[in-house]
Amino acid sequence: MEEAQRRALRRGRARLVAALRVAPLWDPLEERGLFTRPMLEELQSAGSRGEQARQLIIDLETRGKQAFPTFLSILRDTGQGGLADMLIEECECLPGPPQPIDLRPVELDLRGEKHNKSARFPERLSVPVQAESERPRTPPVLALGSAVDKRNHDLVYELKGDPCGRCLILNNVNFGRDSNLSTREGSDVDCEKLEKRFKTLRFDVLTRRDLKAQEMASELQKLARQDHSALDCCVVVILSHGCQTSHIQFPGGVYGTDGNSIPIEKIVNYFNGSHCPSLRGKPKLFFIQACGGEQRDRGFVVDCDSPGDEAPGGSLESDAIPFQPPSANVDEPDAVASLPTPSDILVSYSTFPGFVSWREVSSGSWYVETLDSVLEQYASSEDLLNMLLRVANAVSAKGTYKQIPGCFNFLRKKFFFACK
């Protein structure tokens, strides 16, 4: 889809959400090849008519070059020609798309030596999410060990089950030829570390490897639909290529092996209070090893009290895919006015939005290697947010190119892992 058409959909989103009749669209959308039946069923589960319309318009941007004219044709066929005319007017009044940016691979200079390794691709995302506002039915009380027992129990999540929760790891290594995405060498190293770590932290771990985008969505929805009533937590780990994307709450997206992407917002939305009631009031943790964009950070000069620069060895790769930034008029007010504040959610990103995330063939990604080490040393005594600060500090000291992990935190209480 051309950028002008995307911007027309965004500028007209408020009117589409207010007036679009979605029920007559489902069959033509499938018959004309814009969406598969599982995709439409997911759209229909988004909630009210307006919420379904909003999600449809957002997802339409990802459906290829013919999506916009085909959608206009379907609107006219279903008696909604006025909306089609509105979109055409929005498209015609917009300037042409910006010129493409030269994103050819560059050589990295590590330890003073030239490595003729082409820069790998970063990892990628796409669109909106409904947040969770439900409150827990009972106030949790924690008993994990002496270091935690001394703290205020009302401000700590309860983890008393064994296992305390389920952990799903999606590990994409090999990508289809048509995807133009490189093999993520070193990702299996990350996966094995995290499998062992979360088992040690009393999680029931399930790993899935090399999934297409729709298969990833199916696995995530399958996890969200399970009964978590007897469990206290849920963890999702995604190891893949990623990208920058337009968003409302959570930035970024991740790629399936077919080159199609899923927005982090959509992934988080699968587990909100509406779609996963058995996790209401319980912590839902997401760890994303994927690029947030294609920018490479060379850092800045620091004084002697700042962390030293480590020069990691081995073959250095990133997981980024380029993103064309949208115009200033990305969203109309309706896109945010009805969203509730999310709760009991933490999304930990391997890198700052817009920047690449580095990975080495022999030792895996900087982020996962450091996260695993910090969990091993401090999970029995420190809360999760404090440990993520340790991860960010350690990763920021690595390499000629720089990287800084971060998180979007909507937890209401402190989270301590339950170690075996």
Write the CB contacts of 41 (distance below 8 Å, at least 6 apart in sequence): none
Identity of the amino acid at 275: H
Selecting among 191, 241, 247, 407, the annotated active-site residue is 241
Cα angle value 160/164/169 (rounded, 5°): 165
Is residue 275 among the annotated active site residues? Answer: no
23: domain CATH number is: 1.10.533.10
Please state at what angle helix 384-396 crosses helix 366-378, rounded to 10 degrees.
140
Q: Of 238, 232, 231, 186, nearest to 211 (Cα)?
A: 238
How far is Cα 265 from Cα 238, in angstroms, rounded to an integer? 13
Q: Are residues 150 and 72 both part of a single domain?
A: no
Please indicate, yes or no, if residue 187 is contained in any of the structural domains: yes
Q: Are residues 73 and 210 in the same domain?
A: no
User: Is residue 116, in this structure, part of any structural domain at all?
Assistant: no
76 lies in the same domain as 183 = no
Q: Which amino acid is at 297?
A: D
Residue 185 CB neighbour total at 10 angstroms: 17
Contact 255, 181 (CB under 8 A): yes
Res 251 pLDDT > 50: yes
The helix (H) or strand (E) run that includes residue 372 is helix 366-378
Q: Say if residue 86 is in the same domain as residue 153.
A: no
Query: Both 34 and 152 in a single domain?
Result: no
Residues 249 and 347 grouped into a single domain:
yes
Could you read off the pLDDT of 345-392 as tens digits, one per residue?
Answer: 999 998 866 566 676 777 788 899 999 999 999 999 999 999 999 999
pLDDT at 320 over 50: no
Q: Is residue 62 within 8 Å of residue 125, measured between CB atoms?
A: no
What is the CATH number for 287?
3.40.50.1460
Within a domain: residue 114?
no
Total tally of structural domains belonging to the chain: 2
241 is catalytic: yes
Tell me whether residue 132 is in a domain.
no
pTM score, whole prediction: 0.57
Check if the beta carbon of residue 29 is closer than 8 Å to that of residue 35.
Answer: yes
Least confident of 200-204, 220-224, 281-285, 318-322: 318-322
What pLDDT band is residue 136 in, cutting at 50, 70 and 90?
A: very low
Q: Is residue 118 part of a domain?
A: no
| Side chain identity at residue 180, one-letter code | N
- Classify residue 363: in a domain, yes or no: yes
Which residues form the domain of 258?
Answer: 146-300+311-410
Q: Could you count the other beta carbons within 10 Å of the beta carbon of residue 363?
A: 16
Within a domain: 86: yes
Residue ending a domain, choose from 56, 71, 92: 92
* pLDDT value at residue 74: 93
Please check whether residues 203 and 337 belong to one and the same domain.
yes
* Residue of 120, 147, 92 lying closest to 240 (CA atoms): 120
Q: Where are the alpha helices (DSSP H) in 20-100?
A: 26-31, 37-44, 49-60, 67-77, 81-92
Supply the pLDDT for residue 217.
95
In this structure, the strands spanning 233-239 and 284-289 are: parallel
Among 92, 115, 134, where does a domain finish?
92
The distance in angstroms from the start CA to the end CA of the chain is 51
Residue 419 lies in a domain: no
Q: Which of 167, 276, 291, 407 is catalytic?
A: 291
The mean of the pLDDT values for the chain is 77
Measured between alpha carbons, how far is 176 from 183 in angstroms, rounded to an integer? 9
- Token duo for residue 290: 């994927």
For the residues 101-122, what does the mean pLDDT come to?
42
Query: Residue 169 has what pLDDT?
Result: 98
Give the angle subtended at the CA of 35 by the CAs of 271 and 71, to the nearest 5°.
Answer: 120
